[in-house]
Structure formats: C-alpha cells, structure tokens
Structure 1
Amino acid sequence: MAMERRAVEARTIFIGLAGSHGYGLNRPDSDYDYRGVFIAPKRYYLGFDQIEQKDTGWHEPGILPFLDNNQDTVIYELRKIINLLAGANPNVLELLWLENYPVLTAVGQHLISHRQIFLSKKVKHTYAGYAFAQIKKMETHRKWLLNPPSKKPVPADFGIEDEEPLSKDELNAFLEYLYILIRGKIEFLEESEQLYKLLTADIDFKGMLKQYALPDEALAYTQNFTHSRKDFIRLLKKSQNYQIALREWKAYLSWQENRNPARAEMERKSGFDLKHGMHCIRLLRSGLEILQRGEIIVDRRIAGDIEDLQAIREGEYSYEQVMSMADDLVKQMDVFYEQSNLPHRPDLELINNLCMELVEMQGWE
C-alpha cells in the first residue's frame, strides 16, 4: 500500500539538497535534487504493508511547498536508508554530510550526529565501484562516438540459425537457478562463510551473471553443475551474447535520442562524456578523503577542487588525462586503505540499536 505524499512528509526527519547543488557544481539550469528520510507508521513495521521510499506523487497535495512537482525528489524509509548506509553506498552516505537541510527535525539530527558509525574501509570498494561505473559509461559512449554500431543485431550474427534464441526471461530464469545452486552449495559450509557473504552481500553476483556472458571455460562446468543438456548450454552462450548486443543496441538508440544537445556537442568535441569523467574523479577523491580523514566532504568548494572538476566538465582535460588521474587516485586509495584508522566493516549491532532508537524517538501514529 503506497503512502500518500502528505503522510510521508509528516513523518520526514530530514531533507537535504543533494546532487549538483550539494557538490557546489550546479549551473543556472541545474535541477534541485532533494533527498530525505522518513519513518513509516506502525502498520508498515508490524503489519503486511511495506514501503522503501517515496519517489513519485509530488503533484499530490503536500506539506512542504518546495517539493511541489519536483520529480527529482526521493525520500527513503529509515530501514532502507540504514541498510544502504551500512553498505557504504556513496550516494546515501553523503546525505549525512550535506551543507543544506531545508528540513531537519530532532530525530533527523540524532541520525546525523551518529553518522560516523557508518564509515568503514568498505568505502574503498564502494566509491571505486561507483567511479568505475562512470568509467564504463564513458568507455561505452566513447566506443559509440568513435565506432557507432551500424545495424540492429540479429540471432544469425551469433550463430543462431535454425532455432529461436533463448528469451531474456528464459536466460534470467536459468541464471537465477545457477545463482541459487551456487549459493546453496556453500551456505552451510563453515569454511565458506566469507565466500557466501561475498556472493550474497558484498558484490552483486546475480547482477554480474546476468550482465556478462558465461566464459567458454565455465560452460562445461556449468553443464555438469546444473545437469543441463549440452545443446542447451551451447544455445545459452550464444543467446547471452545476442541479448547483450541487443541491449547495447537499444541503449545506443536511447543515448542518441535523449542526449542533451549541449552535452552531446561537448562529448563530440572531446571524445568522451565529460560529466561522467567529472563524477568519476569526484567519487575517487571523496573515497580517498574518507580513508585519509574519516569524514566526507560533499561540497567540493570546501574540498578545494571545485575548479578542477569544472575544468574536467568543460573539456579542459583529455580522455587520457582523466583516465590517468583516476588510475593515480585508485593507487592512492590502496595505500591509504592500509593506513586508515577506520574499521574494516561497520558495527551492525550499533547500527541496529540506532535504528530502533530513531523509531522510538519518532513514535507511532
């Protein structure tokens, strides 16, 4: 059961101005990205109803006029954001270190006052991971700029001639089955506890299975492991490659159609997506700062690199220079990861106690 806007806003404990305004990188036409936290009422904790966030319905009657019709607004339910914070999600961690909170209650201040307990050495992996996601987008767009695909892929391009390729649903169903089999094999082995955690919590193993085709050397093992027919495994590999190519073709068409004209022109001149390059460097620098200082500096005017980031966005650095900067920052993160005084992982019991405190402070309806 979805919560109405007014009900969410009534139980909101803070809303911060995030995105480009939070980083100090906003332009006159930049959107206002509002991110906040609310605590759901009793029925969502003790009953059947569930809610993780409110990200639509801002045209509804509300309490906070500055959110009216703002589609770039997300207000997370407390338990959802606590989970993301414990996982060192960069986009969520920074919400506790913003400079501008249009809404901040005593309960919200209590959460922000305890923000330090969410910082751990995991930030090296999450911030670098988010930065590499920006690099992957840059590389994809660069490939499209320099060597655009000429036609829509067809099954025959992948050796699928006299049979239908496996559909996306069929592929996903098999890969889900493979994931469950692997997880089940190691779930109760004590010596595999770290591997189990790796596959179920630390990395999106299921997502990786669905994003990348199974390598040739894994096909025979997968066939034996799943007791599949050899011809099915052969078709699986071809269908994965076909579906990946089809997904990229659709992404290419969407990219062409929806690009901001000014951003597209800058991308054409520089040979890469400047905004992704800027955010890649921002993320790596932020991750490095956390390891060095044990705090997050969201506003890059305070961090002191605002002009440098703007220079990347304006095309004053080449693709090779941005990649070299990223490589240097990753090496520095490796060094400071070893030196950092942060714990290797957050104290989940402490975080759980904080979550209960916040719910009790807010009270039930």
Structure 2
Amino acid sequence: MNHWAHQRLLLKVRSGSQAHGLATPESDEDSRGVCVPPKEFLYGLSSFEQWESEGGDHVVFSLQKFVRLALDGNPNIIETLFTRVEDHLFVHPLAQELLERRDMFLSQKVGFKFGRYAIHQLQKIERHHRWLTAEPPTLPKPEDFGAVLGENSPKFPDTASERAFRAAVKHHRAYRAWRKNRNPKRAALEEKYGYDTKHAMHLCRLLKMGCEILENGEVHVFRPDADWLRGVREGGLSYQELLNWVKEMEQRLADSESRSVLPPEPSFDEAEALVVRTTEAYLRLPEGRERRGA
C-alpha cells in the first residue's frame, strides 16, 4: 500500500465482517479510508476519486467523493462514519468534525438505500437458488424465438422476439460465469442449504439497519444481533422462511419511512461547507509528519 493516498489520510476504519462483529477465523481484514488529494488533483487537470487494492479489500476515497456518497445515503459510507471507536485505525485531528457531525448525513434516503442494497442481495440469492434447483438453462437458439436463419444473421419476426433472445443469451452467459467462478466456500453453503446463506446474513443485516435508522436515527454497525445473524449464515432459516421474513421486513421498512422523523434529504450546503473547511485546513498544514496518515 504505497499509494500517496495512505500518506494523506483523514480517516481509516475496519470494515466488513470485522466491523460488524460477524467475522470468522477465515474472514479478511478490510478497511475504508478518506484522504485529501494533493493540490494538482483539486485545482489542476488531474483527477482522483478513490484508490482500491487488488480484490477490493481496502479502499481510500477522496474527501469530496466520500461526502457525495454520504449525501446519497450509500450504506458502505454511512457505516464508515458510524464504525465504533474500537475499529478506528487512524483518525486525523481534522477528521473530528466529520465524525462529530456525522448525523447530518442521516435522512430518509439512507433507510431507502439500505433497503435497496438488501434487495440486490435478495435478487442474487433468488437467481442462484433457481440455478441450483431448476434444470440449467441451455444455450438459446434464434430459431427458438421464431427467427429465420439468413446468410449473415437471423431474422426475427419482431423486436420483442429479438430482445427476448438476447436476454436469454445474457442469462445463459451469467449462469455459465457463475458456475465457472463460484467461490468454493459460497458453493459449499449453497449446496448444503439450497441458497447462499452468507448473502442472506448480509441481506438481513441491511434490512434491520435500514429500519433502525428510520425508526431511531441510530446506526449500529457492530451488530447487537450478531448471534442471530450468524445463525442465518449457518442455515438457521429455510429458503422459504427467509423469503417470508424479508417480505415482513420490507413492509416494516416502508412503514418506518412514512413515519420517520428524519429529514427527506441531508443538507448539501452544510456538507459542502464541511468539505471546503477541512480541505483548506489540511492544505495549510506543513509538509511532513503533520500531514501523514497511516
């Protein structure tokens, strides 16, 4: 990690299962950080938004991008702001205001985004469950969709048929890529329980966190329900029980959003002013140890 971003850090925290209190002995050490880029990236023609390690276990965002994502309610960024102090790996004095004013980023948008991330997890679970339990899709042929084979390309009867064919091809390719690139540990979970229980654990965590934020304005990154979530990862819910639970939680999330006392959106002006203050203060620091990160 010799990129300059690590020498210009404002904040660095543990992330992922370690920060959630859900780590296993095999879990990786992940981190997220925030930095102030050099002047040429602020005033010049160069640009910088983030640095990411190979594999994506460690990420450092520019302060500008980090705050833009926070304003948008991005769950990964909100978790970074609310990670417990024990999981702070580095905090620059100039990051104190960002942490002290982190509640400014909480809005109804955050609950919605946590819910949306959860549904993305559910879609992956459902797709893989179909592939595990149903006959694998065969390679689609144009003639199966009413096409007449021409000299150069098939002629479909209408655009709807052509779109259906292309969608089927895309689905088949996704299936083959999944079979080829399956993580062995994830594959073992799917074979044992009929669905990816690790995805399910994160799905449940995201839905619970979304409701907590909307109902109480609280962000519990280190999970008080870690034992229950670990039980989900270990197959504590059948596939149908998981779907039923998700349906109930989606309704709770919608009800919580309608009753939430959080503002519909955070204040852009306040966030922008914080970015300007922090950046200008950082650039006034002398070169050397005063600027160094981790």
Q: TM-score, normalising length from structure 2?
A: 0.88
**Gap change, CA 1:244 and 1:358, over 3 Å in 2:** farther
1:121 corresponds to: 108
1:10 corresponds to: 7
**Gap change, CA 1:41 and 1:322, over 3 Å in 2:** same
1:27 corresponds to: 24
Secondary structure of the corresponding residue to residue 360 of structure 1: helix
Cα distance in 2 for residues equivalent to 1:161 and 1:307: 58
Q: State whether structure 2 residue 24 is matched by structure 1 residue 37.
A: no
8 Å CA contact retained: 1:165, 1:239: no
Higher helix fraction: Structure 1 or Structure 2? 1
Q: CA deviation at 1:322?
A: 1.2
Q: CA deviation at 1:232?
A: 10
Partner amino acid, structure 1, of 2:158:
R
Partner amino acid, structure 1, of 2:210:
G
Match of 1:54 among 51, 55, 59: 51
**Gap change, CA 1:261 and 1:360, over 3 Å in 2:** same
**Gap change, CA 1:316 and 1:162, over 3 Å in 2:** same
2:272 corresponds to: 352
Q: CA deviation at 1:333?
A: 1.8
1:130 corresponds to: 117
CA deviation string 1:108-129 (max 9, x = no partner): 2221111111100112321111
Partner amino acid, structure 2, of 1:75:
V
Cα distance in 1 for residues equivalent to 2:227 and 2:47: 44
2:214 corresponds to: 291
8 Å CA contact retained: 1:131, 1:280: yes
Q: State whether structure 2 residue 188 is matched by structure 1 residue 265.
A: yes
CA deviation string 1:272-314 (max 9, x = no partner): 11111111110000001101221211011xxx21111111100
Cα distance in 1 for residues equivalent to 2:137 and 2:176: 11
Partner amino acid, structure 2, of 1:143:
R
Q: CA deviation at 1:53?
A: 0.4
**Gap change, CA 1:266 and 1:56, over 3 Å in 2:** closer
Moved more, 242-251 or 85-94: 242-251
**Gap change, CA 1:49 and 1:153, over 3 Å in 2:** same
1:189 corresponds to: none
Moved more, 283-292 or 322-331: 322-331
Secondary structure of the corresponding residue to residue 16 of structure 1: strand
Secondary structure of the corresponding residue to residue 60 of structure 2: strand
**Gap change, CA 1:109 and 1:156, over 3 Å in 2:** farther
- 1:289-328 residue pairs with structure 2 within 5 A? 289-300=212-223, 304-328=224-248
8 Å CA contact retained: 1:155, 1:165: no
1:61 corresponds to: none
Match of 2:158 among 221, 234, 253: 234
1:112 corresponds to: 99
Moved more, 286-295 or 355-364: 355-364
Cα distance in 2 for residues equivalent to 1:129 and 1:76: 22
